[in-house]
Structures are given as C-alpha cells and as structure tokens.
Chain A
Amino acid sequence: MCTGSPSSNGSQPEEANATTEQQPQPEQEATEQPLRTPTHAIVGAAKAEEILAEYGSNLKLLECNSQVSELLTIIRDKNTTRSDFKFYADRLIRLVIEESLNQLPYTDCDVETPTGAIYEGLKYRSGNCGVSIIRSGEAMEQGLRDCCRSIRIGKILVESDANTHEARVVYARFPDDIGSRQVLLMYPIMSTGNTVLQAVNVLREHGVPEKCIILSNLFCTPVAARTVVNAFPQLKILTSELHPVAPNHFGQKYFDGI
C-alpha cells in the first residue's frame, strides 16, 4: 500500500500558483460555474509546458480532456458508490494503459488492405511484459490484459515498515528473460514515490535497463514525481494527474469496497 499520508505532502508553491483549469473547454457553459468557492481547495494539475520544464520529457500526462477530468472527479468524490468507482476507475486505467503502450518501441510496417491499396502502418516489437506492484497495481492488470491478450505479467510486493515508513521489497516474481523486455510497471497511486523507487531497483537488479521501464500511474503527487524523476531520469512515467493530494483510498475502495 501507499506509504506516507496526505498531510505529509506539503503543497509546492509553484503548484499552488498553477491555474485551476487545464484547458479552456469551448463547450463549457459559463453559467455552470460552481456556486461555492472551495476554501481548502488544492489547485489542480499544472500545465503541460510547466511539467516539461519541471520534470523533463520523460514524465507525460494523459491528455486531460473533459472526459478524463470527469473520470478523475468521480474517482475522487467520496460519495461515489463502489460500483461506480470501479467502473470509472477501470475506464481511466484503460486509457492510461493505452497511452502507456504508445511509449513502446515500434517499426514501420506496410500492409495491403482488402481493397488492394497499401497502408503505411507500424508494428510494435514483441517482447514486452507488465509488472504490477501488489496490491493496487493489480487493479491495472485487467486493463493491460484487455489491450494485450497474452502479455506476461510479473509482480512485486513492496511493504513499508510500520515505524520508519521505509519501503522494502518482500516478494518479486518475473519472467526469466525480463532483462531483454520492455517493462510496463503498473502502480496507480504515487504519494511519496518510495514504493516505486524500490520496485524499479528490483527490476534493475534483474537486468532491466532504466530506459526500458515505463511506469503507468493514475494519480501522482508533485513530490513523488520529483523523487522518481531525480532518482531515475531515464524512466518513462505516464500519469493522468499531478495533484498534491493523492486519493489514497484507491486500493481500498477498488478491492475492499470501503
């Protein structure tokens, strides 16, 4: 489970000044503005350029259209029922996974269509695998399976020490040849980034180069993002939101329904 608590994440000043809205939506009706001003509201994600400047090009955000915003909103809403929560979380996971797959290497490939014409397409290389961090990362396995039917999936169990909050790996099981594969590391919530650091360390011990790891993540705090980017500059990270408060209830609500 996630280490750290929301209170331990002091919001960064540059995040606090960021705009509340990612992109102005033309469809948005001005009259539909919320009536109450959120007093404790923590401002939302930063703009794409700011992220590029702040964290480098290896941290990518899912294109935040209104649809994605709605998914995030429903997942964060404490009044969302469990079935709704799971439904919308699965949708978001699917989008994140699809986007993560975009980071995989590919080669050009021309095919002949049924009309006899040539389509200039591309082909992904085989030799990818998924690795989920137990337990919340397992929520993303189905999304990956829906996209890649027979992909191999490894698992890592990271536990944090009750007293020191220090994360350590207690279990890891991978395909034998993981060192020669592209690895899609799945972990939905990053508060401090410690868990992911440990997981990446294990992967590296098994011979996976840093640049061959893609981290699929749903919610990331700026602190965690900085920690991970600093530690592994070549690691590719894909997340749907950068927000100072992580929805730490994700795993519990998804699996336990609490």
Chain B
Amino acid sequence: MSSITFLCSKSNGSNNHSDVQKGKPTSAFASASASVAVVAAAASGLLTIAVPPQQQSKVKAAAAVAKTNGHIDDRSDVTEPLYVDLGNGTVGGGDLNCCPASPTTVPTKTALESPMRRAGRRQRTTSIGNQTTTANPSECIIRANNRTIYTAGRPPWYNCAGQQVEPFVIGICGGSASGKTTVAEKIIESLDVPWVTLLSMDCFYKILNEKQHEQALINEYNFDHPDAFDIELLVDVLTKLKEGRKVEVPVYNFVTHGRETQTKTMYGANVIIFEGILTFHSPEVLKLLDMKIFVDTDPDIRLARRLKRDISQRGRELRGVLKQYLNMVKPSYANYIAPTMAHADIIVPRGGENKVAIHLIVQHVHTQLQLRGFKLRETLANSYKDQPMPHSLHLLDPTPQIKGLHTFIRCRNTSRDEFIFYSKRLIRLVIEYALSLFPFKLTTVETPQGVLYEGKRMSSRKICGVSILRAGETMEQAVCDVCKDIRIGKILIQTNLKTGEPELYYLRLPKDIKDYKVILMDATVATGAAAMMAIRVLLDHDVPEDNIILASLLMAEIGVHSIAYAFPKVKIVTSALDPEINSKFYVIPGIGNFGDRYFGTEPSDDY
C-alpha cells in the first residue's frame, strides 16, 4: 500500500549535488526499511520502492517548532490532524523527559495536552518574548510555540570549537494545497530535534502596487507565478539562517498585499525547513537546500482542499476561486511547479499521510545531524587534559580573603543566609576585577587642591551586563552596585537532563548590544557548554569577541580551556579554578549547584 518514489536526477544518487555527505542518504534509506523491493528500472533514475503497510513509522511527538508564517493560521483545514498515535496510545509522553535540569515550577502539563488542543495551538506563534511587554517586538527573540518553552530549548548550533555548524536545510516543494505544511510538521514532530526553524515561502510575496492590488481583488493577479516572489530577499534570509544568524523575516498581509511593519525574528537552527510552491524554482535557493522533497498530491484533492479553504475560511466566491484556479494556479503548476520535480531527492505521494516516507526522511536527517557533530558536552569534557592555562584567563589573586570566602560558600553546611552574604562579597570582588580589564585611557583632571592629577578613565561608559540564568542572575546586583545605570541582559540556558546538552530557552538583550562592552556572568562554569552558548548568542548579535568578559566565581579547568580555545579573545575572569568535573558535570570540589543553594531550591538528593 505504501510506496515512495525516489527520484534521482541520474542513477542512484550519484548526482546528489546539494548533499554535503554524498552517498549517505542511500545507506540511510536502505537501513530504514528492512524489506524493500526495487521495482522500477534504474536506468531512468526513477526508483519505486514498495514497503509493506505494517511497517509504520513510529512517530514521537516532540520537536519545538520555530515558525514564522503568521497567515498559515487560516489554512488549518489543509492540515490533517497533527499527531500520530504512538502505538501505546499516549501522546507526547516522551516530552516529560526533556524538562529543564533544575527543578522548576513551570507547568509540564502542556506536553500532555490532547492532539486537537495542540493542533489548535499552532495557530499562534507565541514566544516568551511576546508574552512580556516589550518596546520593540523585534527584540522578542526566540520564536517558538509553547512547547518549546516547557520541553526543550535551543541546543548547541556550533561545534566544540565554538564554530558554527551548518544547519541541515530541507526544502519542501509541491502544488498549492498539496500538504507541504503537513509534511513539514510531521517531519518536525518525528525528528525529535529540540529546535527546528520552519520558514514559509509565503512570507516572501512581493508588495503589490495599486493596480496589482486591484487585480488581486478580482482574482486576476497571479500569486502562483515566480515573479510574485521576492527571490532576492528569500535567498538573503535563507543564507543568513544557514549561517546561524538572526534574521528578520517579513510578515505578508494578504488583505493589503503588503508587508507588515513588524517582522518576525528568526534564528538559525540545527534543522531548517523551507516550504513553498516554488521552492525549487530559483537555482540559488536550490544550492542552499541539503535535501529536496516534493509533495505530489493528486490535482483533484488539491482543488478540493483549495475550494474548501478559500470558501469556508477566506469567505470567497466559488466562481472566483475556480477562475483563479483554472487561469492561474493550474497553468502555473504545469509550467513552473511540476517541472521542478526533477530537482527533488524524494517525492512524497499523498503528502502528510505517507508515514513511511516521513520516517525515511527523518532517518536521513538524523544521520546527517550526527555526522555534523551536534553532541557537544561530552566532547568538551574529554579534551584539553594537562594543557597550560590560556592567556585569556584572568584569575583573581588567591588572597586569604578570597580563600576564606570560598571556604564559606563551598562548605555544605553553610546556611543560606551566610551563603548569600559571602557569595555576594565574592561576586563584588570578581566584578570589580572584571571591570579593570576593560580598556582605559589616560586623562588629567583638576583637583580642588589646585593641582592637576593624571589618572585614568574607562574608554567607553557603554557597559552591559548579561547574566546566564539562573545562577548568573545572582551576580547582577553586584554589577549594578559598581556601574551606575548599567543595562542588564538575560539569557536562560538549561541543561537537558536526557542529553546532558545545554539548551537556550530565552534571551533578552539590549537593542544595540553590539555597541556595548559586555560582562557575561555565570556563577560557575563546568564544561563551559552553557557559557559557550551564551558567547555564541552574543557573537550572533554582532558583539565583537574582544568586547566580552566572562565573569564567574568558580570554573573548572576544562571549561576554561574549551572557552579559550573556541573564543580566544573573550576574557575569562574567575575567583577560583578547580581541577575536575564529575560525571554529572559538577565541578569538583566545587560549590554544588550554586543556583539551588542561593535560591533555596535544592532537591532532596542531588549529587
């Protein structure tokens, strides 16, 4: 019953031009289905593989989706129910394991919501940033639906040297109402990758002028023609996403046929899915795609869906819809869309209900992600043994006072009252020291005593503190105490207990942070994975590397090495350096979980 068509431009993937890892896809598919019968001839390059119907893909509900296309809302009827039965009847059971590393009070209920409820959820693309008040919406950073917040954050999008790893870009093409979005959603769910960015081509419609606008109103403007899209902008956005940078994606308004003044902020992710009717049209876009999927749905079904959507959801006349379909949509499909099927790596018949096809696609993506090395923490913990300390490390003088303070805060029997008091004292010293590492210039001032005094002033007063939540937040007060009117940014990074990887949940930074000297604060640094992620975030916001100081109370040698290797210009300030970390990534002898001890949220048995 189930069958997938692999279309290769020549024979057997040899000309898989866009794929970085040649040859890999074929092996991934072969291993995916045990009993595969090759039916068609290879000479034409068209392989049809029939798979027994019982070989259903088990789909795990997970995957946070970063979505931008706001108007996708009114197409929900195109989408089949989102969630596939897990076999044992529970939905989204796996999500609970991905809750943040530290005990939190966030409701985990969301993960258990019914499929329909969640299908409804996707109509809103909210982010934490949106929920809080903000002067500038473009600074609401992480675009995600609600699941992201509670189940998983953004995992590392760079390798252990801190360099960007190119994300895997999947292009999905297909005729209007063929179920591209459904396929994309299903891939995202099955991927079980915590951070996926979904970009729709609909965002890139050109702004219509007066005349075109009128045409559009009487269904005479051709939205299905390649010229209707701003390909230049599209290539620019997609290229930036592929570099892991922040982009502003336009929001297209289908009523005014213009762009909203607000844009959606998107980040690159490990996996980027780009879907649209003319995804494969531009050769430049084709070059950016690592995997090309064509969704081939029967024209009758597509027309039926389109009629239903346009009439019931967009309140349009049957006649007008049909006119548009016959005059524009259908010819465009024949002229521009269907021919691009030749570029596809995989053709998925019947769209989103084709579970086997989606399973195979997911297998391939997993293989690719593993090859790209997104496993970070373990790599970090096992490198750099017995190396001399890097020059970027600035260790506070181990005076008796600092050792005494450490004795207090490290002792497991210290009461919270004392712990807070003594850690605050220590933090103050660390921050004062960190400030001295910023550039200063010589200056001469007049004194009331009538003599001139040669002294120094900081070259730039533009200093910004950025704390890595939660433990880093404890250092904010000290920064405010030493710098008047300092700006504070926040980054929330939590460790995923299941994978041990840091994940980015939330970030809020001053708008023009690139002009600021940044003191990045985290109470303890073990492997340095969270700190590296935070530094990476700052770099992605165009903060120059040598403007960053990482201040911390305690660091493990490994963490210092990793950070210094990845970001040699970042100055690292700490009051103590410990030699080891244990299997749970705690520093030894260490402080324990600083945040838990400071805020009083220790679990009953942690270590």
Contacts and interface: CB of A to CB of B under 8 A. Distances in A.
A41 B410 contact: no
Contacts of A164: none
Given A65-B436, A248-B449, A113 B459 contact: no
Interface stretch (B50-58, B337-345, B399-407, B508-516): B399-407
A113 B443 contact: no
Given A98-B401, A109-B407, A111-B411, A68 B436 contact: yes
Interface stretch (A70-78, A134-142, A177-185, A192-200): A70-78
Contacts of A124: 400, 404
Interface residues of A, number: 65
Contacts of A27: 437-440
Contact of A245 (B404, B441, B447, B482): B447
Given A73-B443, A245-B447, A34 B454 contact: yes
Given A78-B446, A115-B588, A121 B410 contact: yes
Nearest to B452: A38
- Which of A67, A94, A112 counts the most B-chain CB atoms under 10 A from its CB? A67
B589 interface: yes
B429 interface: yes
Contact of B590 (A28, A38, A84, A115): A115
B425 interface: yes
B448 A249 contact: yes
Contacts of B586: 115
A120 B8 CA distance: 66
B315 interface: no
B455 A111 contact: no
Q: Is the interface of B mostly helix, strand, loop or mixed?
A: mixed
Contacts of A67: 432-433, 435-436
Given A102-B401, A118-B589, A28 B448 contact: no
Contacts of B606: 114
B410 A29 contact: no
Interface in B573-607: 582, 586-593, 597, 606-607
Interface-centre pick from A43, A77, A79 (highest chain B CB count, 10 A): A77
Nearest to B456: A69
Interface in B439-471: 439-459
Contact of B444 (A28, A41, A95, A98): A41
Interface in A100-130: 101-102, 104, 106, 109, 111-119, 121-124
Contact of B454 (A41, A114, A121, A146): A41
Interface string A17-33: 00011000101110011
Contacts of B592: 113-115
Given A29-B459, A34-B442, A87-B484, A76 B447 contact: yes
Contacts of B400: 102, 104, 106, 122, 124
A173 interface: no
Given A27-B438, A115-B588, A248-B449, A38 B404 contact: no
A246 B448 CA distance: 10
Interface residues of B, number: 57
Interface in A43-68: 43-44, 63, 65-68
A32 B445 contact: no
Contacts of B425: 98, 146-147
Nearest to A35: B444
Given A76-B445, A101-B401, A41 B436 contact: no
B412 A122 contact: no
Contacts of B448: 78, 247-249
Contacts of B458: 66, 70
B453 A113 contact: no
B452 A114 contact: no
B589 to A, nearest CB: 3
B404 to A, nearest CB: 5
Nearest to A77: B445
The winner among A63, A68, A114 for most chain B CB atoms within 10 A is A114
B454 A77 contact: no
Contact of A78 (B432, B440, B445, B588): B445
Given A32-B441, A67-B435, A121-B407, A39 B455 contact: no
Given A41-B444, A63-B397, A247-B448, A115 B607 contact: yes
A11 to B, nearest CB: 10
Interface string A84-96: 1001000100110
Contacts of B449: 6, 245-249
Contacts of A246: 449
A249 to B, nearest CB: 5
A124 B439 CA distance: 36
A130 to B, nearest CB: 15
Interface in B101-122: none
B421 interface: yes
A99 B429 CA distance: 10
A256 B440 CA distance: 31
Contact of A66 (B412, B436, B582, B590): B436
Contacts of A115: 582, 586-590, 592, 607
Nearest to B589: A117
Contact of B404 (A39, A70, A74, A122): A122
A124 B588 CA distance: 24
A92 B450 CA distance: 23
B442 A70 contact: no
B308 interface: no
A72 to B, nearest CB: 6
Given A36-B444, A95-B432, A111-B410, A76 B453 contact: yes
Contacts of A112: 411-413
A91 B588 CA distance: 33
B520 to A, nearest CB: 18
Given A41-B452, A73-B453, A123-B404, A29 B439 contact: yes
B281 interface: no
29 contacts: A6-B451, A27-B437, A34-B443, A36-B444, A38-B454, A39-B452, A41-B444, A41-B453, A43-B454, A44-B454, A65-B433, A66-B440, A72-B455, A76-B445, A76-B455, A77-B445, A94-B428, A98-B401, A99-B401, A101-B401, A104-B400, A111-B407, A113-B410, A113-B411, A113-B588, A113-B591, A119-B589, A146-B425, A246-B449
Given A78-B445, A99-B401, 12 more contacts: A38-B454, A41-B444, A66-B436, A70-B456, A70-B457, A102-B400, A112-B411, A113-B589, A113-B591, A117-B589, A119-B589, A122-B400
Interface of A: 6, 20-21, 25, 27-29, 32-34, 36, 38-44, 63, 65-70, 72-74, 76-79, 84, 87, 91, 94-95, 98-99, 101-102, 104, 106, 109, 111-119, 121-124, 146-147, 149, 245-249
Instruction: List the 7 shortest-distance A-B pairs measured between CB atoms, nearest first.
Output: A73-B455, A121-B407, A114-B592, A67-B436, A32-B441, A117-B589, A38-B452
